[in-house]
Chain A
Amino acid sequence: MAKYIGKRLIYMVITLALIATFTFFLMKILPGSPVASADKLSPEQRAVVEARYGLDKPLPVQYFDYMFGLVQGDLGISINQFKGADVTDVILSRMGPSAQIGFQGMVLGTVLGILLGMIAALRQNTWVDYTSTFVAIVGISIPSFVFASLLQYWFGLKWDLFPVALWNDGFMSSVLPSVALAMFPLATAARFIRTEMIEVLGSDYITLAKAKGASGSEIAFKHAFRNALIPLITVLGPMAVAILTGSLVVEQIFAIPGIGEQFVKSIMVNDFAIIMGTTIFFSVFLIVIILLVDILYGVIDPRIRLSGGKN
């Protein structure tokens, strides 16, 4: 196991280096300049500003400078979005709200989704089942920003149950954004659990358990549910991605000082250091999630071996 994790960590570093490299060069292809008032500056003044951020050096030199800094944990200095601010500080100051709504959304979505999926499976082909399938389809097909707008309009403005937007009312401010983010995990979890449960419920060992006289709830939770959980873990990774990308728009709609919200702006204003820093931060997050998911497999189902032989 330790050997496996060690190997995975090495791959992670390689992946990150590749991502950083690609992002770096893609970014340099972006049209426009990070020197915001480029048109107001004389060529000499512009040179001074560019030199300050090392933008005057040849591209390969800039690249290696950046990578050296990165290895030492230095993400650089924001050029124009938050002039002169350390990118690490920017990310740290913006991480909290994103983490909170992301975590709440994920937990809420997964728990409700599992419940919904289980009920649907146990009451297959009844109205309960249809309703839950319906919810799942809606949840998958409507993007989170539409949900966010609708929630804001109805629950915030019309019915005045939660704040319309802004991040100034503690937990209450986080409710609507979390719910908006929860829809995708909810729908995904419900679909997966339902399908798996139905399959498991039809298998031989369930029939055996029934024959042995196990009660209905014992069968559902002890035997069927645990086995149905495994495929759900597979989709945790993609769900995390959905939460991340969803948070870009949801944060903007609810005016939350999160990390995704400022990421969009940094791209528009060509703030290289912020773009790189945020991309790397997101990548680390995703890669770690994927690793955790793989490790979780082994924990939940001992039959899945992480290294060597066949799975």
Chain B
Amino acid sequence: MKNSKIFWLLSLVLVLSAFLAACGGDDEKETGTDKTDGKDTAGEPDAEQVLNLMESAEIPTMDISLAEDAVAFNIFNNVNEGLFRLNKENVAEPALADGEPTVSEDGLTYTFKLRDSNWSDGTPVTAKDFVYSWQRSIDPATGSPYGAYMMAGSIVNATEIAAGEMEPTELAVTAVDDNTLEVQLERPVPYFMSLMSFPTFYPQNEAFISEKGDAYASNSENLIFNGPFTLTDWDGTGLTWKMQKNTEYWDAETVKLDTINVDVVKEPATAVNLYNSGEKDRAGLAGEFARQYANDENLVTDLEPTVFYFKLNQERDGEKNALANVNIRKAIAQGFNKQDLVDVVLANGSLPANFLVPTEFSFDENKADFRDVNGDLIEFNAEEAGKLWATGLEELGVEEVTLEILGGDTETAKNMDAYLKAQLEENLEGLTIDLKAVPFGVRLELDEAQDYDIQTAGWGPDYQDPMTFIDLFVTGSPQNKMGYSNSEYDALVESAKGELATDAAGRWEAMAKAEKILLADDAAIAPIYQRGAMALQQPYVNDIIKHPFGGDFSYKWAYISGK
């Protein structure tokens, strides 16, 4: 075996060359993918309307009352429909509802008229289907993760039913007749229309569900639909399914796609390969792939309604600390370059956040983005930050401060925190940052115990309204384990939820003011970025609409042109 060393060397060379070849190959591919320059004026839809997509996980369940994951919600949004649907501009517009509902003066009673529409088996969708569905989801015996979460505190008696103190039939939603649905609210819910686009509030077909019994929703044969598409070829545990145009859908003439073929591909590299082979029309780009394809002409970026920020804990171990000083907090909030962070460190289509309520998320009745109304509230400014920091130190009577940043233990989180540490230490003289990276569960425990100085945290919406972000830091909120309290801010949130609930403009103003106090005046938190997601999408694919709430995408308007 005297030659064994040579063999080892040879194998090493082979392995390396194979790797390098593969890496080099990708670059080639990038420029080499023949696009046939199909971007010729996204015009007439093609004769063949087939869209090929990928998901990153299986469907855990297609039971509307039991689902709680992104994959199922995305399918519901395309194969079922509720009273309202988010349109191309992400504003809720009537779907099964025949126009806007009648709302009582106090904002507590909604009366919806239903349009004539059918289930996929041809039977009509009635108001009773809504009543059944909502009762089923709030019934504790169903064990619905979202039922109580979405209804309790909004719909009369929901809280009591969820707690087992009342019968599900006592939920304040009634079918006045087959085409009229009446809902009683506990308090005015200004974003109720958008809420109606959420799958938990879709109708369910009682006759079908009781006929199927235990088999209900176990595969696509045992499901019934009322949306733009029907789900087919799903065996219940498999990695593949299809969506076919639903001819019974009330707005079927708008739907252009005939078939959507979906396969579950969990490996990001495989997804990109399938896209490059032409087999799939769209591939999400995770991690290093986002960087690799950053300049691809078919790159699409979707903003997600999730914002990340520093929570600045003013009171650790029961004692006020340096972060209790407003100048210190402002200095930190302005002391790091967010643009470089999203461009270089994250490089995934994220947006620098100078705000708490995300961009492209919530709109007033004139369709104006809340973000455009309230603008940037706290921006990077090294010079200003340095001055504020010096003032802060003087007020505290110290020359040096050491703070800990508590963050996640994923690669992205660690890179980001390391960058932020470097930025802050460079811009704020006398600051030393210790980094502490822990798993998600541990971070939640430390947050609960208020045992951190600075924490990188994120928040996604529970409903499509600025309030889902604005009220996070009121005194005593579970998210406010950081010793922040401002009575003016609390009062604004209170009034927006209370007396202003039926005054859309006044409410919007109050929320804007509250956000201003939180960030510009108090720097209670230091916003970092709004998350984005990148994908490669073939140029012949048009009008896949990304939503900030409920299902991620609508394919109702999508079409193929110039393939």
B162 at the interface (CB under 8 A from A): yes
B267 touches A252 (CB 8 A): yes
A165 touches B274 (CB 8 A): yes
**Which residues from chain A contact B18 at a C-beta distance below 8 Å?**
150
A41 touches B237 (CB 8 A): no
CA distance A37 to B66 in the complex (A): 11
| Known A37-B145, A83-B60, A252-B266; contact A94-B237, beta-carbon cutoff 8 A | yes
How far in angstroms is the closest Cβ of chain B from A260? Answer: 12
B149 at the interface (CB under 8 A from A): yes
**Which residues from chain A contact B206 at a C-beta distance below 8 Å?**
none
A255 touches B270 (CB 8 A): yes
B441 at the interface (CB under 8 A from A): yes
| Choice from B60, B239, B277 contacting A80 with Cβ under 8 Å | B60
A111 at the interface (CB under 8 A from B): no
Q: Mark B305-343, 1 if CB is under 8 A from A, else 0.
A: 000000000000000000000000000000000000000
A261 at the interface (CB under 8 A from B): yes
CA distance A153 to B14 in the complex (A): 16
| Choice from B68, B236, B273 contacting A165 with Cβ under 8 Å | B273
CA distance A213 to B7 in the complex (A): 37
| Known A158-B25, A254-B270; contact A93-B236, beta-carbon cutoff 8 A | yes
B149 touches A138 (CB 8 A): no
A23 at the interface (CB under 8 A from B): no
| Known A82-B58, A156-B277; contact A257-B238, beta-carbon cutoff 8 A | yes
Report the count of interface residues on A (CB-CB < 8 A). 55
A297 at the interface (CB under 8 A from B): no
| Choice from B3, B14, B143 contacting A52 with Cβ under 8 Å | B143
Q: Mark A121-160, 1 if CB is under 8 A from B, else 0.
A: 0000000001001100110011000100110111011101
**Which residues from chain B contact A82 at a C-beta distance below 8 Å?**
58, 60-61, 236-237
CA distance A44 to B152 in the complex (A): 13
| Choice from B69, B143, B145, B270 contacting A164 with Cβ under 8 Å | B270
B63 at the interface (CB under 8 A from A): yes
B7 touches A44 (CB 8 A): no
Q: In chain A, what residue has the closest Cβ to B3?
A: A130
B277 touches A160 (CB 8 A): yes
**Which residues from chain B contact A83 at a C-beta distance below 8 Å?**
60-61, 63, 66
CA distance A291 to B187 in the complex (A): 68
B11 at the interface (CB under 8 A from A): yes
Q: Which of B184-204 contact A (CB under 8 A)?
A: none
A265 touches B57 (CB 8 A): yes
CA distance A52 to B18 in the complex (A): 52
**Which residues from chain A contact B148 at a C-beta distance below 8 Å?**
41-42, 45
**Which residues from chain A contact B22 at a C-beta distance below 8 Å?**
149-150, 153-154
| Known A41-B145, A52-B143, A94-B237; contact A85-B218, beta-carbon cutoff 8 A | yes
A44 touches B61 (CB 8 A): no
B562 at the interface (CB under 8 A from A): no
Q: Which of A61-118 contact B (CB under 8 A)?
A: 80-85, 89-90, 93-94
A202 at the interface (CB under 8 A from B): no
B143 touches A44 (CB 8 A): no
A40 touches B145 (CB 8 A): yes
CA distance A265 to B218 in the complex (A): 19
Q: Which of B264-321 contact A (CB under 8 A)?
A: 264-267, 269-270, 273-274, 276-277, 279
A85 touches B236 (CB 8 A): yes
A172 at the interface (CB under 8 A from B): no
Q: In chain A, what residue has the closest Cβ to B159?
A: A42
- Chain B's interface size range is 35 or more
CA distance A293 to B145 in the complex (A): 49
Q: In chain B, what residue has the closest Cβ to A269?
A: B60
| Choice from A42, A253, A262 contacting B270 with Cβ under 8 Å | A253
Q: In chain A, what residue has the closest Cβ to B235?
A: A93
**Which residues from chain B contact A40 at a C-beta distance below 8 Å?**
68, 145-146, 149
**Which residues from chain B contact A52 at a C-beta distance below 8 Å?**
143
CA distance A191 to B30 in the complex (A): 41
B143 touches A157 (CB 8 A): no
B182 at the interface (CB under 8 A from A): no
Q: Which of B116-175 contact A (CB under 8 A)?
A: 140-141, 143, 145-146, 148-149, 152, 162-164
B103 at the interface (CB under 8 A from A): no
How far in angstroms is the closest Cβ of chain A from B538? Answer: 16
Q: In chain A, what residue has the closest Cβ to B141?
A: A48
A49 at the interface (CB under 8 A from B): yes
B239 touches A257 (CB 8 A): yes
A36 at the interface (CB under 8 A from B): yes
| Choice from A49, A163, A255 contacting B143 with Cβ under 8 Å | A49
A137 touches B267 (CB 8 A): no
B57 touches A134 (CB 8 A): no
A255 touches B273 (CB 8 A): no
Q: Which of B451-500 contact A (CB under 8 A)?
A: none
Known contacts A44-B164, A93-B235, A158-B25; 5 additional CB pairs below 8 A are A93-B238, A138-B15, A165-B274, A166-B240, A265-B57
- Chain B contact residues, CB within 8 Å of chain A: 3, 7-8, 10-11, 14-15, 18, 22, 25, 29, 57-58, 60-61, 63, 66, 68-69, 140-141, 143, 145-146, 148-149, 152, 162-164, 218, 235-240, 263-267, 269-270, 273-274, 276-277, 279, 439, 441
Can you list 19 A-B contacts (CB < 8 A)?
A37-B68, A41-B148, A44-B164, A45-B162, A48-B140, A89-B237, A94-B237, A130-B3, A137-B11, A138-B14, A150-B18, A164-B273, A166-B240, A167-B239, A253-B269, A255-B270, A257-B238, A257-B239, A265-B58
- Would you list the 4 A-B pairs with minimal beta carbon distance, nearest first? A83-B61, A37-B145, A257-B239, A255-B265
